[in-house]
Amino acid sequence: MLEKNVTLSLKGCTHGALMCVPVLPGIIALGAVFGTVAAQKGLTFLETVLMNSLVFAGASQFVAMEIYSAPLSWGTLIAMVGVTGAVNMRMLLIGASLRPWLGQVPSYQTYPALFFLTDLNWLLTLSEYDKGTRDWGVYLGSGVFVWSIWSLSVVPGYFAGSLISDPKTFGLDVVLPAFFAALLVPLWKGKRQTVSWLVAGGVAAVTWAIVGGYWSIFTGAVAGALAGAYLDD
Amino acid sequence: MTEGAFSADTMFILVVLGMTAVTYALRAGGYWVMGKVPITPRVRRGLEALPGAIIVSTILPIILQGGLAVGLCLIVAAAAQIRLKKEYIAVFCAAAVAAGLRATGL
């Protein structure tokens, strides 16, 4: 079941970028806080920028910095790369769910574009797909735009961290989760979603209570998808 | 700007390259695997159920960790979205409620 009429246009890219505007304060705050944390941990400016722009996965960067200590040993290296894998495990699922849409786009375009895959542009892309959009510029535009903002936001945080020492005061820490909650609303169609979400939520909560951390995203999502797959109409 | 701001430790570069490689493998891996798996109706239903399941699994631990205040903000966001169908209003309301609650010390 591949889409046969997927297109790519500048208009789609612009549309995708504009859709990210409501969450910009959240992204900028998070990027700036990462800059501050990196500066406090003693990273050089170049090291901070390299990690932030190449890894481009907020939560895993923070967790890796928790483990970081200079001078680096091979053990620390393996631990940092390992937690990055654990925290970003959900990307496997996110990427998988894009296959029905992007599967028809040539590989030489999709594989470089997958570097820009985040929860945010994935979710925007799927909600647009739901509305009938077949211009994958929505994915590419939002991805490149968020990456650019993310890459820049680390700079003020690195040099003037105390400006936004506590994003919580302004409610900036709830911006991204609130955006997700808002985008969840139109995904609800009926019984299949109710069951799948309850299963996902239950498994995620239990996983969180037992092991904590980020595994709950992976286990909950897999359980919810299986429930959705095996619930026959 | 301090001396050596544009220098980088070799070991640190290896860490960054490792983290980048792992993350990209995960970004591209799931997409790649689904190109090898025949998309049967069951697989398609599973893929369709994934987005909601991922969001629920992402948000719920945030609420469990953040407590009543965060939970309330996300309920506000969802309610605003149901009534007004504008994501930016929903996000703004949630952030405003969070800032308000924290100002009162909750």
Q: What is the pLDDT of residues B13-30, one digit of tens each?
A: 999 999 999 999 999 999
Q: Does A184 touch chain B (CB under 8 A)?
A: yes
Task: Decide if B47 is inside a domain.
Answer: no
User: What pLDDT is stored for residue A172 in this prediction?
Assistant: 83
CA distance A168 to B47: 35
Which residues from chain A sit within 8 angstroms of residue B12, using beta carbons? 43, 47, 72
Task: Decide if B3 is inside a domain.
Answer: no
Mean pLDDT of A22-48: 91
Task: Decide if B23 is inside a domain.
Answer: no
φ/ψ of A119, rounded to 5, equals -55, -40
Counting beta carbons within 10 angstroms of the beta carbon of residue B97, is it exposed (0 to 12), middle (13 to 18) or buried (19 or more)? Answer: buried
- CB–CB of A35/A153 below 8 Å? yes
CA distance B13 to B15: 5
- CB–CB of A165/A42 below 8 Å? no
Q: Which of A102, A179, A220 sits opposite B57 (nearest CB)?
A: A220
CA distance B19 to A87: 11
Q: Does A144 touch chain B (CB under 8 A)?
A: no
Interchain CB distance below 8 Å, B87 and A111: no
pLDDT tens-place string over residues A170-181? 888 888 889 889
Interchain CB distance below 8 Å, A46 and B6: yes
pLDDT interval class at A1 (50, 70, 90): very low
- CB–CB of A146/A117 below 8 Å? no
Task: Decide if B102 is inside a domain.
Answer: yes
Task: Decide if B97 is inside a domain.
Answer: yes
Query: What number is the ipTM of this complex?
Result: 0.87
Task: Decide if B19 is inside a domain.
Answer: no
Instruction: Measure in Å the smallest separation between the Cα of A1 and chain B Cα atoms.
Output: 7
CA distance A139 to A123: 9
**Which of the residues B7, B17, B27 would you substitute to probe the A interface, choosing the one with the greatest number of A C-beta atoms within 10 Å?**
B27
For every residue of A102-171, DSSP letters joined together read HTTS-HHHHHHHGGG--HHHHHHHHHHHHTT--BTHHHHHHHHHHHHHHHHHHHHHHH-GGGGS-GGGGT
Q: Does B46 touch chain A (CB under 8 A)?
A: yes
pLDDT interval class at B1 (50, 70, 90): very low
Interchain CB distance below 8 Å, A224 and B53: yes
Task: Decide if B75 is inside a domain.
Answer: yes
Task: Decide if B25 is inside a domain.
Answer: no
Interchain CB distance below 8 Å, B19 and A208: no
Tell me if residue A225 falls in helix, strand or coil: helix
Mean pLDDT of A13-23: 94
Is pLDDT of A162 > 90? no
pLDDT tens-place string over residues A142-160? 999 999 999 999 999 899 8
pTM: 0.85
- Across all residues in chain B, what is the average pLDDT? 90
Looking at chain B from residue 61 to 90, which residues have their Cβ under 8 Å from any Cβ of chain A? Answer: 61-62, 64, 66, 70, 73-78, 80-82, 85, 87-88, 90
Sign of CA dihedral A83, A84, A90, A93: negative
B67: alpha, beta or left, given left = phi > 0 and alpha = psi -120 to 50? left
Residue of B nearest to A186 (CA): B82
Looking at chain A from residue 204 to 223, which residues have their Cβ under 8 Å from any Cβ of chain B? Answer: 204-205, 208-209, 216-223
- B97 HSE (CA, 13 A, CB side): 22
Interchain CB distance below 8 Å, A115 and B27: yes
Q: Does B91 touch chain A (CB under 8 A)?
A: yes
Q: Does B104 touch chain A (CB under 8 A)?
A: no
**Which residue segment(s) compose the domain that B71 sits in?**
56-106
**Which of the residues B32, B58, B70, B82 would you substitute to probe the A interface, choosing the one with the greatest number of A C-beta atoms within 10 Å?**
B58
CA distance A135 to B93: 30
Closest CA to A60 of B24, B41, B4: B24
Domain count of the fold of chain B: 1
